Amino acid sequence: MIVEMRTGAAQEEVDGVVQRAKELGLGIQLNLGTNKTVVALLGPNTGQLPIDIFAVLPGVERVTRIMKPYKLASRDFKSEDTVVSVNGVEIGGKRIVVMAGPCAVEGEKQLMAAAMVVKEAGACILRGGAYKPRTSPFAFQGLEEFGLELLRQTKAQFGMPVVTEVVAPHDVARVVEYTDILQVGARNMQNYALLTEIGKSKCPVLLKRGFSATVTEWLTAADYLLAGGNDQVILCERGIRTFEDSTRFSLDVGSIPIVKKSSHLPLIVDPSHAAGHYSVVPALAKAAIAAGADGLLVEVHPNPKEALVDGLQSLTPSDFARLMTELRSIAEAVGRYI
């Protein structure tokens, strides 16, 4: 249930709503919008409460039920776009933010070379996995803490914020020490213990769509982060599993306008995991920006032939530089810039 306060409602009036919600055992989240406060009332049984309980309180303009399973990620709760700020880089504003780098951190030389080329081409956030959730237990699992250390050094050298994946709740506190954005991978979108732990932190988080998750399930997963008090949430579409097997996953371009309409959260697209092949990545990246995505997460390797993970879908430095140039005119055509 959503309680919209009148424009200019007094603090005591907002407190009155909060107090009443607490008496009824409800959870609350406040959206202190630019001109009016919105209070989300959360709990398993809000559907049974008459809305008049809140509608009669002083300062209340309107009370409505959110019929969707996701509440805090919804535009009903917050109509204006959320802009997540990461060390001065704004995600969800007019600028298209490109995050790029290798799938996995493999070593100092590789990461430094990747950072140099992606920065040079115009990316503003460096990606690199230190913990890799691999389908096979025999595949390279990442350099773990040493990988985090390399990310820290590279970040210091290039002045670029970094995004890296966290795969287990007990690792969250450690990874937060090194990263600017925590990535939740597709395989962990429904790892609710992980989401709950990240929700307690204030670190920006990139929530990938699970490859068998609907948009509704994905936005409801985002509610776990938001309900914990972490409002720095960025969504990432990375393709879903369909019967089509000529690409690694099917990029759901349609989810882009749907998510932008249904949610206030910024949305970026990972064309690399959807494509599975470097030759397909540029077209998907361009389609994503044309469809309204706020940014991209692209795998780039200084030498894809030697990559330990996802070499086939990684762009070479020159392919990435070309893509960035091509993306500029697409961004401009949709009223954005890179």
Selected from 115, 130, 172, 186, the binder of ligand PEP by CB under 6 A is 186
Q: 20 contacts which partner out of ligand PEP, Mn ion, none, CB within 5 to 8 A by kind?
A: none
Cβ atoms of residues 285 and 253 within 8 Å: no
Give dist(CA 324, CA 253) in Å, integer.
20
Of residues 68-107, those binding ligand PEP (CB under 6 A):
103
Q: How far is the CB of 333 from Mn ion (least distance, A)?
A: 29
- Choice between 103 and 189, CB closer to Mn ion: 103
Cβ atoms of residues 264 and 236 within 8 Å: no
- SS3 (DSSP) at 306: helix
Q: How far is the CB of 302 from Mn ion (least distance, A)?
A: 15
Token pair recorded at residue 273 = 């995991």
- Choice between 66 and 219, CB closer to ligand PEP: 219
Q: Is 310 in the site for Mn ion (CB under 5 A)?
A: yes
Residue 161 — φ and ψ, nearest 5°? -65, 155
Alpha carbon dihedral 123, 129, 135, 140, in 10-degree steps, equals 120
In which element (H, E) is residue 39 found?
strand 37-42
Q: Is 165 in the site for Mn ion (CB under 5 A)?
A: no
Mark the segment that binds ligand PEP (CB under 6 A) among 68-76, 172-180, 182-190, 256-264. 182-190
Q: Is 315 in the site for ligand PEP (CB under 6 A)?
A: no
Q: How far is the CB of 317 from ligand PEP (least distance, A)?
A: 19
- Choice between 17 and 288, CB closer to ligand PEP: 288
- The DSSP line for 43-73 is -TTGGGS-THHHHTSTTEEEEE---SS--TT
Q: How far is the CB of 172 from ligand PEP (least distance, A)?
A: 17
In which element (H, E) is residue 260 found?
helix 255-262
Q: How far is the CB of 125 from ligand PEP (least distance, A)?
A: 13
* Beta bridge partners of residue 250, listed in sequence order: 240
Length of the chain equals 338
Selected from 59, 142, 185, 282, the binder of ligand PEP by CB under 6 A is 185
Selected from 129, 266, 271, 282, the binder of ligand PEP by CB under 6 A is 129
Mark the segment that binds ligand PEP (CB under 6 A) among 50-58, 117-125, 183-191, 195-203. 183-191
Of residues 24-63, those binding Mn ion (CB under 5 A):
none
192-199 vs 215-227: helix axis angle to the nearest 10?
40
Of residues 56-115, those binding Mn ion (CB under 5 A):
103
Total residues binding Mn ion (CB under 5 A): 2
Q: Is 238 in the site for ligand PEP (CB under 6 A)?
A: yes
Token pair 């970026």 in the structure block, residue: 268
End-to-end CA distance of the chain: 38
Give dist(CA 283, CA 295) in Å, integer.
14
Q: Which amino acid is at 330?
A: I
Q: Is 208 in the site for ligand PEP (CB under 6 A)?
A: yes
Residues that bind Mn ion (CB under 5 A): 103, 310
User: Applying CB under 6 A, which residues contact ligand PEP?
Assistant: 103, 129, 185-187, 208, 238, 270, 273
